[in-house]
Amino acid sequence: MEELSKRLSKMVEFSLGCTEPAAIAYNTAHIAKYLKNAKKIRLEIDRMTFKNAFAAGIPNSNGLTGTENAALLGYLIGDTSRALEVFTMIDDSVLTRMSENRIKVEVNLSEKKELYIHSHALDENGNEIEIVTRKTHTGIVEIKENGKYIFKKKAKKAEEEIEFEDDYFDFRIWKKTVDELYKDEDLKNKVKKAIEINLKAIEYSKKYLEPEVNPAYGAIYARMGGDSVEIASCAGSGNKGIVAIGSLSYIAKEKGFKGEEVEKAVILSCLITSLITSKFGFVSSECGVVHAAGVGVMAGLLYLENKLELFYDAFKNYIEGTGGVFCDGAKKGCAMKGYVATDMALRALNLTKQSMTVPNTDGFLGSSFKETIFNLMQYDPYFKLFDRETIDILKRKS
């Protein structure tokens, strides 16, 4: 259980702005430690990172968006201490240098199947630095100076992408599992902080939409638009964190739950969100808010009501209504996917409580939660074809 607690804790991170631009900036911020006067930065990034960074707003940047600006800002900030909160360090000095800079940025696409960011910077004297991020958003695995390694990390399989055992698909063990996880003070305190931060984001989002209408929409819209809103992410995604942690906490408190009850529900929600994410990948062709975080919300709410035996019937209702939502990049429109996931989770639960559920024989549904997720995974190669079309569309917009 201690090992599970550590893995789950790694799934909850704190960030400012969309995760992919922040990961790019975190990568290029490392360049400044070794190369002070870069004249060119060449980026090679995987298709899904490109897709998610293309239109995402960058906090504190006066409206800047996208991959190239994220790379430049990271280099100009030159400080890696805040990791995915790197954009908190944008100030007037950085913005002035940004407006005056003459650094060329070239972006190329990699065929890597996992998250991959490879920056290669040159200065006037021909000195060069290369930084490689692989698998996870902060996973710096290589640093080269003038062609020679000065840092190389050979990741163990467990470190490449955090996995969760298939045993956790069984909702009959969830209550006991949560009780055991809650004994970990570090995890408990991290979850408390995550709830607090995401509820603040939802409160801030009232400028766009009252959370009573849908707590996910405004917070995702603000974050994707580049508002300076700190959030707690879940399973490598801020939008998943807003739904799995923020929406669940908001709805739970509206229903009168509080304190330890809500914290335990959020732990379960993050576990289920992470479990599903580990099967599809941290950067995925499927929308993780819909396919993972919305499911976490349902599990959390049923935990609070002590009705986890209804989970699979509720999941069938939910996934039959939302299955097949592909990811077309990170942008303000993700707010609508967050809206749909939260709204459909509540509707699926209500239908289940009225003894209305779809049969296991329908479409991709299986006889269990695990079987249905594995059935959905069979579509993954075809969803990846959507990525190529999406990227062609985005390139035409460049």
DSSP 8-72: HHHTEEEEES-HHHHHHHHHHHTGGGT-SSEEEEEEEEEHHHHHHHSS-B-TTSSS-BHHHHHHH
**pLDDT tens digits for range 139-184:** 999 999 999 999 998 755 444 467 899 999 999 999 999 999 999 9
Provide mean pLDDT across the span 6-13: 94
What is the reported pTM? Answer: 0.91
Residues 39 and 171 in one domain: no
Residues 154 and 176 in one domain: no
Q: Is residue 15 within 8 Å of residue 58, measured between CB atoms? A: no
Is 8 inside any structural domain? no
Range of the domain at 172: 164-397
Residues 144 and 208 in one domain: no
Is 211 inside any structural domain? yes
Number of helical H runs and strand E runs in the chain: 18, 8
Percent of the chain at pLDDT > 90 equals 88
Residues 313 and 191 in one domain: yes
Residues 124 and 260 in one domain: no
Answer with the one of 140, 159, 178 that is the final residue of a domain. Answer: 159
The whole-angstrom separation of Cα 268 and Cα 249 is: 12
Number of domains present in the structure of the chain = 2
The whole-angstrom separation of Cα 72 and Cα 21 is: 11
Query: What's the CATH number where 102 sits?
Result: 3.30.1330
Q: Which helix (H) or strand (E) holds 143?
A: strand 140-145
Six-digit token pair at 77? Answer: 């900030």
**pLDDT value of residue 158:** 42
Provide mean pLDDT across the span 27-46: 96
The whole-angstrom separation of Cα 349 and Cα 301 is: 9
Highest-scoring range by mean pLDDT, 26-30, 233-237, 325-329:
26-30
Is 185 inside any structural domain? yes
**pLDDT value of residue 215:** 96
- pLDDT band for 136, please (50, 70, 90 cuts): confident
Answer with the one of 100, 127, 159 that is the final residue of a domain. Answer: 159
Residues 273 and 198 in one domain: yes
**pLDDT tens digits for range 311-323:** 999 999 999 999 9
**pLDDT value of residue 189:** 98
**pLDDT tens digits for range 71-105:** 999 999 999 999 999 999 999 999 999 999 999 99
- Contacts of residue 369, defined as CB under 8 A and 6 or more positions apart, other chains included, come to 169, 170, 171, 311, 312, 315
Residues 391 and 297 in one domain: yes
Answer with the one of 159, 189, 212 that is the final residue of a domain. Answer: 159
**pLDDT value of residue 155:** 56
Residues 308 and 276 in one domain: yes
**pLDDT value of residue 113:** 82
**pLDDT tens digits for range 381-394:** 998 888 889 999 98
Is 5 inside any structural domain? no
**How high is the mean pLDDT of the chain?**
94
